[in-house]
Every structure is written in structure tokens, then in C-alpha cells.
Structure 1
């Protein structure tokens, strides 16, 4: 068959969103490999956020006041997010120019090596400030890798999906995030059962070092997948996709930025910051909190695809709007529930926030964001808005929350902080177009 004949055959598929049986089989394989790989990547990235508040202030910041040590741990946590925009720009360029698959392989390799090396770092008492610097650098590499991964896997999924199931396909990759957090939470829960001395000497290292095995599995699976169908059939590529996206698609970039700002901040304020706040200020046992985050993410791994699939029926915007409104309202009572110091109520609060409300936003965005951009700049456009939104949202949310609490001694300031973010996201959602019926090459 000639090239023109192939284009003639492919064109109706692009217009109608239909796919052949071979395309469907390849898509299923891609979803499995993409979801497993993304699970591993998020496990690697989140294991720091879960274990760091429990041990790192004593291992890597022992010379400072405990409160300052907590802020230092969250600051290092934020470094991973600060690196994400750079990773998004670099990998976005190559993802739009060369393809999505090569980015998936590269980011997984970088993430796996960085995570495993964290597990081999000596404590501050052994080598001094050098180990703290190494921790920060490796955390930076984790964020750099995730800056590409968090966009590439989702694009691969929806660009090979039929139009009627793009929301579900994108949300399956999104759900891999909660699965990764579940595994990270399980690892954290197991090591919290260790005596304090063993936790600090070797227990905390095991979840990091184990990443090497997981990454090997992920690389094997990803090597066997095909490039996304939409990218293969695209009419052409941009020479400078990031620049073109910023010049011609400023509005969708800003929409993605403000929406992502609120979505990520909500999760990190109700899950990650809560680990340190409830342990230190309220005296709640750390295993209770780790278990609550674990259960919340079990809820999430089922509800994220559900809300994604639902967005294929009624649209991306309505579901996201309900989730955003619920998030803002829940923040009025969330920290008051924690202050009751009831392990049961704290567990319920974290499950409702991180496991039910958050998936309403997290599920639809897997398809919503990419559908705002044309193929030639899709990777770069999504990456710019998403990664900058993440770093100024979830990346610094625990740090901002810890600083606000240290300054004012109350969680009211944290609630007000989130309300500002929610208002910005609400405005962005209002001006955004509904995208569920768009063809991806528009």
C-alpha cells in the first residue's frame, strides 16, 4: 500500500476516533505498560514524601530545631517539584520532536537510579553536610524525571484511544499515581512497625533500594510498546514546540496552570502535610496516619478511573467543578476534625479528602489537559502549565503550610491559603472550553 493509500485509510479513523482491532490491542498493551511504569515512577517520587517527615529531619538535618527541621524536610521535598518544570520543558521538547516513547524510557531510568541512590546515602553524622547536598541533588533528579513522565504516559494513553474513551484511558494512567502511593504507603506502614533505632539505621532505606528491581520491570514493559497513534499520524512537528506553545496557546497553558495549582495543593495539604502536622502537633501515631493515606489511595485508584470514564459521558468540566467546590468546602472543617485527635475521625477525614474529593479533579484532567492543545505542541503545552502549576501548588504547599502554622500557630491561615488557589482554579475552569468531543488533531 502506498503512503497516500495509508493516509486515506488512516484519515477516517482520525476524524471519527475509531480504531482497528490491532490498534485496540496495541492500546491495551500500552495502557498496561504505561500504568505499571507510572505506578513505579510515583512510588519512587512519593516514598520521599512519606518517609521524609518520619525520619529525615534526624538523619539529614540533626543540627537544627525540630520545627525548622520539619520545614527543611519539606523544603527538600519541594526541590523535587521545583525541578519538574525544567524536566517538563526538556522532555516536552523531545517528546514533541522525537516522540513520547523515548521520553518514557529515559525518565524511568533517571527516576529509578536517583531513588535507589537515596537509599544508600550515609547519615549526616557520618559525613556531614555532603550527604544533605547529595539528598537535595537526588531529589532534584527525581523531580526532573517526573516532569517528563507525568505528561508522557498520559499522552501515550489518550493519543492511542478512541474519542469515546479518552477520559477513561487518561484516567487509568492517572490512577497509577494512587497505586504508586499505595505501594509507597504500604512500605512506609511496614517500616513504622520497626523499633525507632532500626527504622533510623536501616529500615528507611529498604523502600528506596527496592526501587531498582521495580524499575527494571518497568523498563522491560515500556520497551515493547509502540509510539502513540496520533503522534505517528501527525502532519508534522514543531521545531521549537515550547516557544510555539507559549506564543500561540497562552490561554490553555494558563488554564492548566491554575487548575493544577489547586488540585495538587489540595492533595498535599490533606495528605503529606498532615503526616507531619498530626504527628508533631497532635500526637497522633505515625502508623495511624500512614494507614489513613494508604486507605485513601486505595479509594483513589478505583474512583479516579470512574470519574475519568464519567467525564466521557457528561464532560470534563462538570466533574472537575464539583471536585473543586468540594475541596474548598472541606478545607473549612478538615483541620478542625484533625484537632479532635481521634484516630478514627482523622482517618475518615483523610479518606474523604484524598480518596474521594481529590479523584474528582485528578481523574478528568488526564484527558482534559491534553485535549486543550494540538498534537505538534501538546507535550510542551501540557508540561509548561502542569509542571509550573505543580511546583507552585503541591510542591510548596506543605512548606507554605508548615511556615504559616509556625508563624500564626493556627490552621486558619492554611485554609485561607487554599481558598485563594481554589478561586483561581474556578476562574480558569469557567473560561475553559469543554473538550470531550474534540478530535486530537484539531
Structure 2
């Protein structure tokens, strides 16, 4: 099967559009994309790190602890449910009007939603209206990220030389761990506050800090140029989403199944583990948040190295290796967490989220976009990636919590991931290698 999105490698053709922009322009795009993406991921993940610690008491106080935890993760999942819609909407405008305008719009939307969460009244003072407002703002966060997570990467690979697309995309991907590291520092800091201070004002501070970060990101993005590859590409023959679904449904499905495996693994070993380890196993909050922090520090270093490696040996091989190792590791991961040993818990999270996960996440930034032509690249990647994220990472903590509630065992959670991983391996079996192919208009 062919995806129809690439042809035999031609180094001159692959770099023609990229060299139309100056070296300084390319660096500016990479820096602006990295900073802005880190801020967006900080905004999105600060909820995932803080909500399991206090939101059950602040916004769902009428439920018992397990039900309140499920409600917190259900609200967390709302952000992922919004991502496909954001991906399609911003994908349309990104393929029609350009990547830069989308980058500015998504950053502002995400920042305003995050700051507003920090200003929300709690259930105690506003009742169910506070809970509804939290859900709406979480939806807006996901809607914004649905466009951001693709736009910055497309700007990177469409301006990079043909033999450095993997590295450039992985630098943008590394901004994800940077954002999580920033969020982890914030969560770690407030987790040490006295319980009364944490519940009254401490939880708000990480959300309000977003105002400063967003201002920096907007400044950087106003100074970049549009992708030369996009400017020179012929427009979509119809509405981008229609052309993508009709003419490129095979690569969309490949991206969908691969993304489910990638995102679910991270959220099962990082986000879900925060609640599971602290609520069910009694692991101290600062131990697990510190482990997630260390894992992301390792991941942000590993990501560019893996991207550069994919330029040499190929994207598909590394992604498949990541899926295989993720599957194997799941059989031991929760046993290590259940040991409650600080060193073992920390090493387990670092190995999973900091070493194994980057094999998938650091590779997909270049692999997925290379499966589509420029004219519908934003839309095609967004559909597969955002739907895969929703049905993978978006619901993974909720599914895992529900499975544990029903079975009191982590084996069901492991089986859940194994099924997702097998689906990804089958889909990738139909995919071609793209690292030595040129981008098409």
C-alpha cells in the first residue's frame, strides 16, 4: 500500500523551499515554535498534574474519593475530546491561510483558558456553576492544543533541510517535556504547601503564571515568517478535510492507531500514576511528582537525539521499537510502583516516560507529516493524531481508574495497553519509511 504522499528522495528538491528562507529565519522559527509549544503544553498539563491532587475536593466534593477521582479524570478527558474539533478547524485554516496565524491564535486561546481556570471560584462558593465553568475552560484548552500541536511541527519540517527534518521536528516535540517539566516544578512546589494553603490559594498560582509565559510566546511568534513550503504549495482541490478523508484515509488510519499507542502509554505511566500511586498506594505526593519531573528532564534530552537518529536509520523502525518496548514494560511497571520504594518508583517512571516513550513521541513529529502532501498536511495529520489522542491518552486515565475500580488489579490496565499496541503494530506494518523521501506540495 502506498500513502501517495511522497516520492523517491531528491535532496535538491527537498531543500529548495527550505533554503528560500534564511538560516536565521529557520532558527527563529525553530526557537519560536519550541518556546510557544512548551508554553502550550505547560498550560495543558498543569491541569493533569494539579487536578489529581486537589480538584476532587475543590470541584467534586459531594462524591466519595474514587468517584471524585473518576470525575477529575473525566474532566481531564474533556480537553482531549475537544482536540479533534480544534484539529479540524485549525487544520482547515492552517492549510488555507498558513501555519503562522494558527500558531498565534492557539497560543492566545490556550493562555486565556488557563488563566481563567486559576481565577475560578470553587464548588464551595459557586456550586455546580464552578464545575461547569471548569469543564468549558478545559474544552477550550483542548480545542487550542488541537491546532498548536501540529502547526509548530509543520513549520519546523517545512523549513528544515531534507536530511534534518527528523531532528527539527523532534526539537519541537521536546518542547512537550519542557512544558511538563515546568508544570512539574509548579506542581512539586505547591504540593509542599500546608493542606489549607494548597486548597485556598496555592493551586491557583501555576495557572496564573501562564500570563507571563503567553506574553513571551506571542512576542516570539510575531517575529517569524510563514513556511516557504506552504507558500509554494498548490492549494487543496476541495475543502481540505474532504480531500484528506477521501484521498488520504490510509495514512490517517496509520497515524490514528500509532497515536493511540503513543499517547496512552504516556498517560498511563505518568498522569494516571500520580493519582494511582498517591491515592491507592500511599506513595508520597512529592515522590511521584518528582519522578515525573525527572522523566521529562530525561525525555527532553532524548527527544532531539532520537529525531537525529531517525534521519539516519528511519522513523518507522524507531517508532515500532518504542511500541514493542512499551508493551513489554507494562507487565512490570505497576509492580514497581506498588513496591512504594522511592528509588524503584522513580526509575520505573523515568524508564517509561523518559526513555521508552520518546522513541515514539520523538519520531512521530516528522513521520506523521511526511505521510501527507503540503496542501492538506495540517488537516490530515490533525484528524489522525487528534482522534488517536482522544481514544488513547485522553481516556486512558479514566479507563485505567475504572478498570482498577472494577477489578482491583493492574493486569486489566496492562491488557488494555497491549490491545492498543497490537493495533498500532498492525497499522504500521502497512506504512512506508519516509525519512529519505521529499515533501510533496
TM-score, structure 1 normalization: 0.96
C-alpha distance in structure 1 between counterparts of 2:347 and 2:178, whole Å: 19
- C-alpha contact (below 8 Å) 1:109/1:215 kept by paired residues: yes
C-alpha distance in structure 1 between counterparts of 2:235 and 2:333, whole Å: 49
* Cα drift, residue 20 of structure 1: 3.7
* Larger relative contact order (CA 8 Å, sep ≥ 6): 2
Q: 2:92 aligns to what?
A: 93
Please provide the CA RMSD for this pair.
1.3
Residues 140-175 of structure 1 show CA distances to partners (whole Å, capped at 9, x for unaligned) of 000000000000000000001110000000000000
C-alpha distance in structure 2 between counterparts of 1:73 and 1:18, whole Å: 46
Q: 1:242 aligns to what?
A: 241
The secondary structure found in structure 1 opposite 2:22 is helix
- C-alpha contact (below 8 Å) 1:292/1:351 kept by paired residues: yes
C-alpha distance in structure 1 between counterparts of 2:426 and 2:154, whole Å: 25
Deviating runs (4+, > 4 A) in structure 1? 15-19
C-alpha distance in structure 2 between counterparts of 1:169 and 1:15, whole Å: 14
Q: 1:43 aligns to what?
A: 42
Alignment of 1:169 with 2:168, yes or no, is: yes
C-alpha distance in structure 1 between counterparts of 2:297 and 2:216, whole Å: 23
The secondary structure found in structure 2 opposite 1:333 is helix
C-alpha distance in structure 2 between counterparts of 1:117 and 1:84, whole Å: 19
Q: 1:341 aligns to what?
A: 340
* Cα drift, residue 235 of structure 1: 2.6
- C-alpha contact (below 8 Å) 1:331/1:415 kept by paired residues: yes
* Matching of residues 63-74 of structure 1 within 5 Å: 63-74=62-73
- C-alpha contact (below 8 Å) 1:18/1:163 kept by paired residues: no
C-alpha distance in structure 1 between counterparts of 2:355 and 2:111, whole Å: 30
* Cα drift, residue 19 of structure 1: 4.6
* Matching of residues 111-260 of structure 1 within 5 Å: 111-260=110-259
* Cα drift, residue 321 of structure 1: 1.2
Q: 2:107 aligns to what?
A: 108
* Residues 17/313 of structure 1: CA separation in 2 closer, same or farther (3 Å cut): farther
Alignment of 1:316 with 2:315, yes or no, is: yes
TM-score, structure 2 normalization: 0.96
* Cα drift, residue 185 of structure 1: 0.1
* Matching of residues 71-82 of structure 1 within 5 Å: 71-82=70-81
C-alpha distance in structure 2 between counterparts of 1:214 and 1:220, whole Å: 10
* Cα drift, residue 44 of structure 1: 0.1
* Residues 17/118 of structure 1: CA separation in 2 closer, same or farther (3 Å cut): same
C-alpha distance in structure 1 between counterparts of 2:398 and 2:385, whole Å: 19
- C-alpha contact (below 8 Å) 1:238/1:377 kept by paired residues: no
C-alpha distance in structure 2 between counterparts of 1:357 and 1:324, whole Å: 8
* Structure 1: segments with no counterpart, 5+ residues: 1-10
* Residues 377/228 of structure 1: CA separation in 2 closer, same or farther (3 Å cut): same
Q: 2:6 aligns to what?
A: none
Aligned residues: 432
The secondary structure found in structure 1 opposite 2:368 is helix
Q: 1:402 aligns to what?
A: 401
Q: 1:422 aligns to what?
A: 421
Q: 1:273 aligns to what?
A: 272
* Structure 2: segments with no counterpart, 5+ residues: 1-9
- C-alpha contact (below 8 Å) 2:32/2:217 kept by paired residues: yes
C-alpha distance in structure 1 between counterparts of 2:133 and 2:277, whole Å: 29
- C-alpha contact (below 8 Å) 1:96/1:238 kept by paired residues: no
